[in-house]
Structure 1
Amino acid sequence: MIVDAHAHFLPKDYPEDAPECFPHMDPIEGSDGLLLVFGQTRFPAKRVFFEAERRIEAQDASGVGAEVVSPMPPLLKYDLPPADGLSLAQHVNDFAATMSSYDPDRLIGLGMVPMQDPDAAATELQAIADRGLAGVEIASNILGKSIGDPAFLPFFQEAERLGLAIFVHAMPSPTDRLPTSAMGTYVVGIEGMYSAASLILGGTAAACPDLRVSFSHAAGGFAMALPRANYFWSGSWNEEPPNPERAVMPDDGPSPLEYARRFYYDSMVFDRRTIRYLVDLLGADRLLVGSDFPAMLREEPIARTLRSLELPDDQWQDIASRNAYRWLGREVAASSA
């Protein structure tokens, strides 16, 4: 069995009396899809984005046993007024719950919260749990502010208390150091690294040892930076015993790698050599299958690159499905045990 832990949905419509700042879905001439119009975003959405029956058909066609479906990232628009952001989140969460109810074993829903108001975001987590959703998706930065900022710690503590999973989706942030064409490529990779590192450096990982967090696209360049961070912590290469005389930033807590091995990472990194490195550094028990479907086409069959590594069966079973259920805090499905 394969669980696709990185897939997206869009609500089919929005309330007629919604604020002007809300998204809307417009017909597309000559298509049965709809156009998402939200701020500067114009995104044509096929019906598989919002029709549960089509999602199950697409799963069957690709060999997927279940999907973790999260809001399409443009919906994570934190520059809305807080009250409108909360109203939008509640509408999206209602849709997520409805879509998941079509087949709860195969459509596992995540919601969203207005992170521009950390208190409201933390409060809304109870409603997400009450809807039966497995967790929440957040962006890798909140209006340019790191998710590891102390302002967001109560939110993460509440998610930990409720046992909700967190999915951190890399999102572009304003920069004048790279051209606009890099927003979806290099900047997303940088953002993933920033978000994961900030949870360690900002103290969230230490304060929330049972928090279950997954990062899209393996947290970008994070894994490549970890050995250097570990050297500064320990003064040693290759995770050999610490050498205090060489350590630049020693402390008596867990190492950066130990913290990093508490997180989960989807393995949608487009190259088997990168996946091999992630397995070697972080462990096969940390990786998930991800596709970004239907915003991006899946490999056919699903996880083709992962399969090509010919991992030992136990490692493959972990990555294919068991890790996803552990991240979600749910019992491993019998078909994947």
Structure 2
Amino acid sequence: MRIDCHAHMLPAEFPADSPACSPSMEPIDGDTARELVSGALRFKAAEVFFAGERRLEAMANNGVDAEVLTPMPPLLDYGADAKDYREVCRYVNETVLGLCATDPRRMYGFGIVPLQDPGMAAAELGELKASGLRGVEIGSHVNGRSIGEEEFLPFFAEAERLDLPIFVHAIRAHIADRLPMVAGPSYQVSIEATLAAASLLTGGTAVKHPGLRISFSHGAGGLALMAPRAHFFWGGTWNEEEPLPGRGEGEAPMTLMRRFFYDALVFDRRALRALVDLVGADRLLLGSDFPAMDREEPFDRTLASLGLDPADSEAVGWSNAWRYLGIEPPEL
């Protein structure tokens, strides 16, 4: 059994009376696809983004038994007025619920909130959960502010209280001026995911709220290779050995890193093997970025190539997802 924990959706349309910050979905002549228009962004969205039956067909074709659906990252608009954007979030969340209603055993939706106002975002979480959404998606930063900063602690505290999982998706980097234009999103996504995860480790969020269930897109970038260095400076030893006398105050960086879940969409079996070795097979979730990108054929091809024992393979492909979501697996 396989569940895709990194799959995206878009509404087929936005209301005509939406706030000015709302994007639009424009029809395309002679095509079932629509064009997402958001500022300078133009993105052609195939029908599968918003049509439930098309999603079920794609799942059957790709060997996917269930999906966790999150709004496309361009909908994470933290530069907008918070009250206006809250209305956009509520509409998107309703649309996610409608899409998941196509088959609630196979589609599990996450909503979005106006994180530019952490108090307002926290207040929205209760309604979000009560509506039937299974979690909340947030961006990797808020207008350049680290999500590990103290101002966001009330939001994370409320998510922990509600036992609501969080998916942190990398969004456009505020360090783009330090990368050649040719680098584009290929490097920005990994850097952003790393910074977001590291900020929650070093800013104290992971320590103060140990009950949080957070996953990061694309394996949290390079975090897994950075944590051993942090571990060395914490304890003074290599290879995660016992800390030297007088060293190792508080929780070890590698231990804290293993509180998170990680999207296994890292595009190479060697990178996936490193994640298995460093964070553990029990912390990984299969993902695809579908339908923004095509899935592997079959969906778990790279995972299968690792030759993991059956229990670890089943954990990455299926059972970890239900622990992350905090629900019992459905009978399919």
The normalised TM-score by structure 2 is 0.97
Are residue 43 (structure 1) and residue 40 (structure 2) matched?
A: no
Decide whether the 8 Å contact of 1:172 with 1:183 is kept in 2: no
Are residue 299 (structure 1) and residue 300 (structure 2) matched?
A: no
Q: Distance in 1 between matches of 2:141 and 2:183?
A: 17
Deviation at 1:190, TM superposition (A): 1.1
Aligned length: 331
Q: Distance in 1 between matches of 2:74 and 2:190?
A: 17
What is residue 21 of structure 1 aligned with on the other side? 21
| Structure 2 segments unaligned to the other structure (5+ residues) | none
What is residue 226 of structure 1 aligned with on the other side? 227
Deviation at 1:156, TM superposition (A): 0.6
Deviation at 1:254, TM superposition (A): 1.2
Q: Distance in 2 between matches of 1:34 and 1:96?
A: 17
1:158-307 equivalences under 5 Å are: 158-175=158-175, 176-244=177-245, 250-251=248-249, 253-307=250-304
Decide whether the 8 Å contact of 2:219 with 2:264 is kept in 1: yes
**Structure 1 residue runs of 4+, over 4 Å off?**
none
What is residue 54 of structure 2 aligned with on the other side? 54
What is residue 105 of structure 1 aligned with on the other side? 105
Amino acid at match of 1:311: L
SS at match of 1:121: helix
Deviation at 1:171, TM superposition (A): 1.4
Amino acid at match of 2:49: F
Q: Distance in 2 between matches of 1:264 and 1:30?
A: 42
Deviation at 1:180, TM superposition (A): 2.9
SS at match of 1:109: strand
Deviation at 1:259, TM superposition (A): 0.6
**RMSD after superposition:** 1.1
SS at match of 1:113: coil
SS at match of 1:43: strand
Q: For each residue in 1:237-290, what CA deviation from the matched residue of structure 2 results, as whole angstroms up to 9, or x when unmatched?
A: 001110146x5xx42x21111011110001100000011111011110000100
Deviation at 1:154, TM superposition (A): 0.5
Tell me the percent identity: 52
Deviation at 1:183, TM superposition (A): 3.5
Q: Distance in 1 between matches of 2:245 and 2:108?
A: 46
Deviation at 1:104, TM superposition (A): 1.0
Deviation at 1:22, TM superposition (A): 1.0
Amino acid at match of 1:130: A
Q: Distance in 1 between matches of 2:139 and 2:292?
A: 17
Q: For each residue in 1:108-146, what CA deviation from the matched residue of structure 2 results, as whole angstroms up to 9, or x when unmatched?
A: 000000111111100000111011111000001111111
